[in-house]
Amino acid sequence: MSDTDPFASAVEHARWFAALSGPFDPKDALTVSVQSDVGATNEAAAINVASQLSQNCDTALAESDSHWLMRGADRRWVIADLRKENRLEEAIAWRNAQQPFDAPAQDVIAALRGTGELSVAALEARLAAVDDRPDDRNEFERYVRALEWAGPDAPAYGMLEKLRAVINRADDRRRGDTLLAHGFHGRDQQRQLLQDWLAAPLRAPPVLALFVTGLPGIGKSALLESAIREQRATQQPIIVRLDFDRPTLDVLDQVGLTLEAARQIAAQLPDQAGALRELRLRAASAGSGSDNEALKGRGRDSVPSELVAMLGGAVSNSGRSVVVVLDTCEVLRGRGETHPRRLFIWLDVLVSLGLAPMAVIAAGRGDAFDSAPERIGRRLALEPLAPETTELMLDQADVPSAARFQLRAFAKGNPLLLRLGSAALIAAPEATAVPMIGGRRQFRRLGGIALGAAPKAEVPSKRSRKPQSKDLVAAHLYRFLLSRISGPALRRIVDPGLLIRRINFEVIRDVLAPTLGLKRIGDARAKNLADQLESQNWLIERGADGWLRQRAAPRAELVPLLYASKPALCAKLDRAAAEWFARATEPPQPWRLVEATYHRLQLLRRGEAAPKIDRDTALRVDDATLAELPDAARDAVLHARGQRSTAARGSSAARRTKSAKPDPRSVKDLQLTIERGDWIEAADLYAREFEKATIDPASEAGDAVRTLLWRTGRWQQARAMLRQLDAKQHDDSDIRALRPDDALARIEMRAELSFKAATRRLVIDGAWREWVQVIVGRGAKTEMTEGALGFALRAAGVPVSASWRHIDPVAAAFEQWADNSSGTATANALAAAAARLARRLPQGLASNPQTATAVGSPTGPDQATVRRLMVHSPYAASLCLLAQLEVSRRLTTHARAALIALAKCDLPLNSGLAGIAVNPNGPAQEPIEILSDVGLVNEWAGAASFVLGGRDCASIAKSAETWRRTMCGHWSYGRAPEGWHDAESKFELDSLTTARVQELLGAGDPGSASRSLLLAWSSAEDALPQKLRARLAALAARARSATARRKGETRALEAARTLMKAGVPAAFIPALSTLVATNQKL
């Protein structure tokens, strides 16, 4: 912790608080850090600390009032650092003194200290006493959660697998008990189809799924569970369940998805659990928190291949197949149109890396996979139960024969509604519901009581075969359920009082009774009515918090009908409920604000304006609640959460015409998707809504689109839009009003496209300089601040506060080439580079990084240090996205072929990558990520643009080469800043190019080695394509002519300089210059 920088101290204390807590309210973390360290409730300081802390936390939890949770790998890094610095006890003592010090925080600290229930002895005793009671699962889940949070530093961490085994047994027993309790009736044909699908698992991509779809309650999940149960009885497959109703399962976090799959597989292969646990920890650390890759959003979107390969080996050795169960898939698509397709791409990678054979079965509502229809191997649409199966269920429920006609008409073959209706009949047999379908009467009065007007619906006569309308079915359901409420006062309260989601006697007394026309009632009467309501246990349940709630199934059916039948009364009730729940309480109760907001949002049905919704509240609105809201209200919540609205959804969504302006909702969607860093989803939205639209370059839409194009590598379009902006406004005076993502993108573009002007403005314009410092210091999820912008800031002497564990390659370059020393920046950069290289090249590079004399230069680092700094190229992310969005996959094909060829080279400095693994069926960005991790992505970009063409790739490659040369000591951004010592000034070459030329000259057969490298970088197998060969030969001829009077190494380096000035990609220069110096042909 810095003794002089209060901001750094506040950030560190905030991280201590998060690391030693469970889910927490970020306001608490800011209270104990900003106020104590900065010394004031400074809003700007709080925003900056929150920004830094959010990079280490999952900020979209919906399971508790405190909705941030530090990610596991980040938490482990904080705790490991504290342990290494002998400060863990100091941090624990500090956390003990902070409020709130709740049960999860106490558990984390007990786990770290190995005391109380979380000591090794206590857990061993508890395991010995397990009797598989229902309470065991919750208790053991708490133990597991605390140990996972505490990480490997907890004394009992090694017991995790045993503790998880208790939870897994409980889950299996619960699923089986649920199935047995409800029974599974009929569906014989569908069950056989599922068995046939599971019996033919896939061994190679593309992965396809059997997709079970149908209405809520139709039995989708029960059918899957029944199939799995039958399969387990005979085949013992390994089951991986992914229910996307869990907010932590996210296709953007492919490391997290893989770790979850690995956890479940390890639990079913106990012999492999220990080894798999170590690999899971390594994958989690590599994907988050260990360097600035994770802080900027990279690192967790790539599959940890070593872990998957080991999983594949373990599965293969077991002789068992893998069954992946995908449930609640409509939620997956709700997060983004591209998310289902990306899920299957992830499954493709698992299978291609050996996790096979694999069968995938999925369940969801109708359109869950409409955005990826090619991945549906078979669609199984569940229809209502057959009459004979319905009768069997009614027999088992002991439903009286006289009541079955109405119940069958009510349920329409829906298993859930059959069970619900059976429970209602048994709970209140005296209530008679006989809404007749057919004849001249739609309904007759029930027990002399009319329950309010139902929606009008056309009723078929006996002679008519016209199917009954949906409204009629709804009305039928409405009356069937509510007719079972006895007592006029209670009936009056529930209709439409059941709109209110949480009810107690106070709500009845203060809201329902006065709004619905009952006389003023006191506490006793209100409590009596609450007791009567609770007795309707087929309809009402008491939650763990003590409030009465309506059961989910009938609520989903009744709420829309209540609003349709009594809109004015419902609006009056919503206003009263919103006012009541919004009242302040001590201590504050955030859930009340959610309820108040819910009722205000329902008023949008009556044309009222949407209320202002803060993100905390929006994140606490669960999906079931969201589904009850009208479309406009739902979009308001989604936007407040930072999620995409319902605009431009679906495969049939109309694309904008050339003259149309973007929908304002889509503009907001694009902004939020960019903030989330979901670039593939943002690109899909751009193609649907913006690509053909008329966009004002100075508008919010123009700013967002320009940011998207810049980040996704479409630099030519981004540059064109920037020119349009410059034609409309002559400066960047609007920068303060821009969203942070848009402001940073514009600053980066200025530096990359006009370095001299950007640097000059930083020097002479103090206000601009300060604002740039603020924008860059916010820690946006981008690496481009370490490109031209990073060098411009350094050259102008502008200090920028680095984020926690920030890898700053620009600072490392200045240490090497200006300060002649290896400081903290170099050490951090080399350590992070070593970790990334080890993931791809376990044997490492040929030599270890050491600060030493550069080749042929009196000062500067050795080539190994320089080579490792290349790992941190800021241009890799844009190149990866450009490859992912490229339909032809030419970039991916070239990168993969180049890698395979380079793996056969045996010259370490000249990109020899012996032993590197390249997956031929991996995702589009994978070979480019590998090239980045081994420090070759800059050279590859130049080679790819030279061979393939493409203006976007060429633009990025030009910037990447300028950055590469400067990092290697040859300042290439114009005039070098004072103190910069250029490497190899005699030949105007960078140190790495010089070293590679010298290595080739020293090879046993320089000509053969050079030709092999030309083939590799051209992604050619046996011979260079004719046109490419002619281009390279012409360039070599120019170098031969220019260096005819030179010999040996001098001629090679002179040729290299000539080729560099001619614009030849750096990848080709060492080989071409060597062929020139040795008088050999291509």
Judge whether 320 and 237 are in contact, CB under 8 Å. yes
Judge whether 670 and 705 are in contact, CB under 8 Å. yes
Q: Give the mean pLDDT of 155-184.
A: 67
Tokens at 635, concatenated? 């979009």
Distances (CA, A) of 497 to 582, 592, 627, 676, 932: 18, 18, 19, 39, 60
Q: Which of 693, 647, 697 is nearest to 670 (CA)?
A: 647
Is the pLDDT score of 248 beyond 70? no
Is the pLDDT score of 573 beyond 90? yes
**57-58 and 69-70 strand pairing:** antiparallel
3-state secondary structure of 46: helix
Find the radius of gyration of the CA atoms of the chain. Answer: 33
**540-542 and 376-381 strand pairing:** unpaired
Length of the chain: 1082
d(C-alpha 871, C-alpha 864), whole Å: 12
Tokens at 717, concatenated? 């379009």
Q: Where would I find the beta strands (DSSP E) of 788-881?
A: none
d(C-alpha 910, C-alpha 916), whole Å: 15
Judge whether 204 and 343 are in contact, CB under 8 Å. no
Q: Which alpha helices (DSSP H) does 246-379 contain, by range?
A: 254-268, 273-287, 292-295, 305-318, 329-335, 339-352
First to last CA, the chain: 57
pLDDT in tens, 741-784: 999 999 999 999 999 999 999 999 999 998 898 888 765 557 78
Residue 789: exposure state from Cβ atoms within 10 A (0-12, 13-18, ≥19): buried
d(C-alpha 105, C-alpha 95), whole Å: 9
d(C-alpha 226, C-alpha 175), whole Å: 10
d(C-alpha 360, C-alpha 196), whole Å: 12
d(C-alpha 680, C-alpha 708), whole Å: 10
d(C-alpha 681, C-alpha 905), whole Å: 38
d(C-alpha 402, C-alpha 258), whole Å: 54
pLDDT in tens, 273-301: 666 766 666 665 554 434 434 333 345 66
DSSP state at residue 300? S
Tokens at 914, concatenated? 């012996």
Judge whether 1036 and 1014 are in contact, CB under 8 Å. no
Q: Give the mean pLDDT of 169-182.
A: 55
Phi, psi of 136 (to 5 degrees): -60, -40
pLDDT in tens, 121-167: 999 998 888 765 556 777 888 899 899 899 888 999 888 878 877 87
Q: Which of 1011, 1003, 851, 840 is nearest to 922 (CA)?
A: 840
- At 54 the pLDDT is 77
Cα 750 from chain centroid (whole Å): 30
- At 676 the pLDDT is 79
- At 793 the pLDDT is 94
DSSP state at residue 512? I
Angle made by CA atoms 888, 893, 894, in degrees to the nearest 5: 115
pTM for the model: 0.74
Domain boundaries, the chain: 6-160, 183-381, 387-482, 488-641, 731-775+785-796, 864-1077
Neighbours of 123 (CB within 10 A): 22
248-286 burial, b at 16+ Cβ within 10 Å, e below that, comes to ebbbbbbbbbbbbbbbbbbbbbeebbeebbebbbbbbbb
Neighbours of 926 (CB within 10 A): 22
Judge whether 140 and 166 are in contact, CB under 8 Å. yes
- Reported as type and span, the H/E element at residue 550 is strand 548-550
d(C-alpha 984, C-alpha 994), whole Å: 8
Q: Give the mean pLDDT of 941-961.
A: 96
Neighbours of 963 (CB within 10 A): 27
pLDDT in tens, 820-854: 766 888 888 898 888 888 878 866 665 433 333 33
Tokens at 240, concatenated? 């991986």
Q: Which of 131-145, 571-585, 693-707, 942-956 has the lowest mean pLDDT?
A: 131-145
DSSP assignments along 909-970, one per residue? GGT--TT----TTS-TTHHHHHHHHTT-HHHHHHHHHHHH--HHHHHHHHHHHHHHHHHTT-
Place of tokens 């000249």: 910
Judge whether 601 and 611 are in contact, CB under 8 Å. yes
DSSP assignments along 164-222, one per residue? HHHHHHHHHHHHHHHHHHH---S-HHHHHHHHHHHTS-BSSSSP-EEEEE-STTSSHHH
Q: Which of 88-92, 264-268, 597-601 has the lowest mean pLDDT?
A: 264-268
Neighbours of 630 (CB within 10 A): 16
- At 278 the pLDDT is 65
Could you tell me which CATH number the domain at 183-381 has? 3.40.50.300
Q: Give the mean pLDDT of 1048-1061.
A: 94
pLDDT in tens, 330-350: 888 877 889 999 999 999 999
Residue 764: exposure state from Cβ atoms within 10 A (0-12, 13-18, ≥19): exposed
d(C-alpha 601, C-alpha 866), whole Å: 58
Is the pLDDT score of 204 beyond 60? yes
Q: Which of 171, 227, 470 is nearest to 359 (CA)?
A: 227
Judge whether 69 and 23 are in contact, CB under 8 Å. yes
**How many percent of the chain have pLDDT more than 90?**
37
